[in-house]
Amino acid sequence: MPVEVIFFNVGQGDCTFLWFYEAPGGGSGLSNPASRVGVGAALIDCGSLLATPHRSTAGLPGTDDARMVGHIRRVIADRLGRNAGASKDRLEYLFLSHPDADHHNKLEDLLCNSAGTLDFGIQEVWYTGDPKSYHKGKTNSFLYKLLKPGQRGSLTNGPHAVANDAEAKNLQSSVLPVPLPAAPSGNPLPELLLVSSSLYAEVSGKKVVSKSRGSRDSTWSNAASLVFLLSGQPGASDGKRQKVLLMADAERGVEEFLMMGDRDARYQRDKNMWLKAGHHGSAHATSEDWVKHTTPDALFFSSGRKTFGGTGMPADARLNAIRKTLADEHIPQPAITPAGPHPYGFFQRGATPPFVVQTTTEGFCTSLAEAPPPAGREWLGVDWHLILDDPQPGDYHLEYA
């Protein structure tokens, strides 16, 4: 059964959506989007510290935030509206990867109406860390009602409700399979695994009980990130699977942990490997060893225009290091739609402004994609759509739109 992974543009933030679907046919071409019937969906985060509108909203009225979130809401509503049965208009999972605001502060705008109740159902909520790190004790906030046991009922809007109390997934001792709804046809599902959570820190109340891997304030929360591995179905001709690693804000410590325990090559290329770069492509993540270990066909960077301590993410130096490693490993460039060079945005020290948009045919897939005049219309972003196993197991389609 195919799955569409959408890496949404949220400017300086993060938002990833998984949509599992069935499509009639099984021919030689990608299925018609209108014929796809959803089986289930999951949302990983939705937050932003500095919004970049989607390019489809160029010139339209409204704030950058409203245009950006409105676009994401329309796309998700379309997919959930095509889910079958009990999954219609419902997320099977909402995953809060860690407590950083740029991963969760747009969830209410995305999922709720002006009254603060849900416009979509949510079956399960998983999170890591201390709930107070998300809601800051604000008892009337969306995140308080979402995460506090017994409070989810206040979000109910007719058929749209949070079905179960949120579950903390802290300090998982082993890989945890994520149960997915059965396909009506009986076709096998992709496999989704939670492979890391709360690796270097445990939170008790407001106190960080243990902390390592450096002195940066963000170290513990980034190391606590929920990291997922999505695997497609075995290809008919070679039996090999495609894999997608979704790293949230995980940094080198998590990468080292995954490599040290990778006795069965779970995090290595089998057929195609697709890597959501950890921590937006910062200098603290996507190490040379991790790129060599995973050898990704493409890397996806949730990129914005906010600077941190005089730098931004991803920086040209980081991309150049990754570029060299991929060349040394002889990784071929992926097929991308539309064909030809695609835009990618990055931080370049000394440039004015310090963020630059250029074009490439490499597998550098950033959400920042258009700069203001004279280069373009305004700062604008794109979404990246990665489809696995459509029309056949082992096939992929990668498109920016």
pLDDT score of 207: 43
341 pLDDT exceeds 60? yes
What stretch of H or E contains 275?
A: strand 273-276
Cα pseudo-dihedral 77, 83, 86, 90, rounded to 10: -30
CATH number at residue 197: 3.60.15.10
For 302, the domain range is: 3-400
Bridge partners of residue 162, in order along the sequence: 122
- pLDDT band of residue 149 (cuts 50, 70, 90) is very high
The amino acid at 191: E
The domain tally of the chain equals 1
Q: pLDDT (tens digit, 9 = 90+) per residue, 3-21?
A: 999 999 999 999 999 999 9
* Averaged pLDDT for residues 232-257: 94
Cis peptide before 334 (omega within 30 of 0): no
Q: pLDDT (tens digit, 9 = 90+) per residue, 267-322?
A: 999 999 999 999 999 999 999 999 999 999 999 999 999 999 889 999 999 999 99
Q: Would you call 153 helix, strand, or coil by DSSP? A: helix
What stretch of H or E contains 147?
A: helix 142-147
pTM of the model: 0.95
Comparison of pLDDT for 103 and 199, the residue scoring more: 103
The amino acid at 32: N
Cα distances (Å, whole numbers) of residue 240 to 179, 236, 332: 22, 8, 17
pLDDT score of 187: 87
Cα distances (Å, whole numbers) of residue 375 to 25, 304, 347, 357, 369: 43, 17, 16, 9, 11
